[in-house]
Every structure is written in structure tokens, then in C-alpha cells.
Amino acid sequence: MGEERIRPTRSGLFMIELLIAVGIFTLCAAVCVGIFVRAEVMSRDSGDLTRAVTEARSVAECWKASGGDLERTAALCGGRVSEGTLTIGFDESWKPLAGQGGEVHRLLLTAEPAEGYFAASLRVERQGIPAPLFSCELAALEVAS
Amino acid sequence: MRRQTGAGAIASLILTCVFGATLLLSLTAGAGVYHRVADRTERNAATRVGLTYLTTKIHGSDRLGMVHAGTFGGADAVYLLEDIDGTIYETILYVYDGHLRELLCEQGWELLPGDGEVISEARELTVEEPAAGLLRLSFTDGSGVEETTDIYIRSR
């Protein structure tokens, strides 16, 4: 008795062909979705960094204009001073907040000890992310009147 | 001879439909992400170009008595003065007719706001001095997004 040979049907061949195409497409789609997500995250981070630098620069200029005085800096650009640190809270769209609730981004300006000049460290961070978005050291050589 | 049923054809059809649907979904997702990324980049650039230009120009001209706020063409403006061979020239930065503009001329010349060189699209520029030597610039870009920055005049 001879073996029965299974002859492939036309729809069966089409099915295999389609499965291979779907498989390749799935692989490409997975790579593309990964790239889309990365692009979205990078774009958001870039926007946040731009805003963080803008806010930091503005506060640094106010601090210099105040001759290194945190209370006067707070009077000029908002925020609250506690234990030698000026804190300014921002919401998701970087609007400054008057109170403490709803903070998504936070700018911290901490006075540092220095002789003959005023020094401070500035840090902008996003809630829940330990690494700062932006940080820098500030120095004011003169006392503004 | 094997009888061919319609099951294979239906499975192929379903697979083709799933393939088409996922293709459309990935295209939609890609287009959405591209739109958001492009929009955010454009928004960042529009604001950054105007404010960074103003900030850089002011810091670059930061010499004693050479930077001051004023008005030009009925709107707020920043005046940057420069002494070249005893002649005072002024660079006026202002917003007119939907654009941030820059006008360089000898001090005292009466020019029109439309004569200025276009820098970027903008709707409004307001200049305040909340403290001595501190300029507060509020810049509204072409899309209506307002940004405020403070600039300390170190030379004053």
C-alpha cells in the first residue's frame, strides 16, 4: 500500500504566504512602535529641558538682581523659602503654582556657603524622577542695591 | 481526491482583515506621534528663537547705560545703544505687524516700525522693570504662547 501524498491546495499556499507576510509585518510594526514611543518620550523630555533651562535662567537672573538674597528672589519670581532653599512649583504645562499641591515640576535654589561672594546651587526636577532635568551652580560677585 | 472546504478561504480572509486593521492602526499611531512631535518641536523653537534672541542681544550689549526699556511704534521695546567713533547708534527690538523686529539706526533718526528687520513671528512683547537693573520680558510667539523671562543688566 503506497503512502497517500497530501497535495497542497491553492488556498493553503495562499495562507502560508499570508502568514509569512503577517509575521514580517508584525516584526516591522513592533520595531516601529518602539521607535514611535522613543520619539514621543524624547520629544517630551526635550520640551521639558527647554522649559527647565528657561525657568532656571530666569530665576538665576532674579537671584543675581537680588544680590544673592533668597527672600528678595522669591518676591521677584514667586515660590517659598524654607531652610535656605527657595522652592518654586510648576504644573504639567510649567505654569507656576502658588501652593504646594499639584506640583509636577519643581525648581530648587539652595544657598551655598562661600567667602567673598554669594553661591547657590540650582536644580530643576520632575516629580518621581530622581535625576534632575537641569542643574547648575550660581555665583554672584556683587551685591545688588 | 480531497474535497476543498471553505474554511481555508475564510481563515485567509480573516487574516487579511487582521493584517489590514493592524496596518491601519500602526499608520494612525505613527501619524499621531509624528504630529505631536512636530507640533512640540515647532512650539519650542518658536518661543526659544524669540526669547533667546532677545536675551542674547541684551547680554551682548550689556554696557553701562547702554540698555534700556522704552516704546517704539506705540508698543514696548528694548533699546540697545552702541558708541561707534563718537556716534551713538541704537538697536531697537520690538514687535510690529505679527513679527519680532530689529531696527538699527543712528540715535535720533525717525524711522517707521515697518522698517525693522524681521526676526521671527510674534504677537506681543511687553517689557517691565520689576527691580533695579532687572528687565522682565513677556514674549507671545506667533501661535499665541506667552513666555516670560527675566534679564539682569549686570553693567548698571
Query: Using CA atoms, how far apart are residues A65 and B133, in angstroms rounded to an integer?
Result: 7
A12 with B8: Cβ contact below 8 A: yes
Alpha helices in B61-118 (DSSP H): none
Closest CA–CA distance from residue A61 to any residue of chain B (Å)? 5
Average pLDDT of chain A, as a whole number: 86
Closest CA–CA distance from residue B71 to any residue of chain A (Å)? 23
Q: Which residues of B touch A66 (CB under 8 A)?
A: 131
Q: What is the pLDDT of residue A143?
A: 56
Residue B31 confidence (pLDDT) above 60: yes
Residue type, A127: Q
Which residue among B16, B51, B132 places its CB closest to the CB of A145? B132
Residue A43 confidence (pLDDT) above 90: no
- Report ipTM (2 d.p.): 0.75
Which residue among A18, A39, A61 places its CB closest to the CB of B37? A39
Closest CA–CA distance from residue A57 to any residue of chain B (Å)? 8
Q: Which residues of A touch B40 (CB under 8 A)?
A: 43-44, 46-47
For the entire predicted model, the pTM comes to 0.78
Q: Chain A 83-142, CB below 8 Å of chain B: which residues?
A: none
Query: Using CA atoms, how far apart are residues B100 and B70, in angstroms rounded to an integer?
Result: 15
Q: Which residues of A touch B36 (CB under 8 A)?
A: 40, 43
Which residue among B30, B131, B151 places its CB closest to the CB of A76? B131
Sequence-separated (6 or more) residues with CB below 8 Å from residue B106: B87, B88, B89, B90
Chain A residue with minimum CA distance to B148: A58
- Give residue-wise pLDDT tens across range B35-49: 888 888 887 787 778
Contact at 8 Å (CB) between A133 and A124? yes
Q: What is the pLDDT of residue A13?
A: 79
What's the whole-number mean pLDDT along residues B117-142? 92
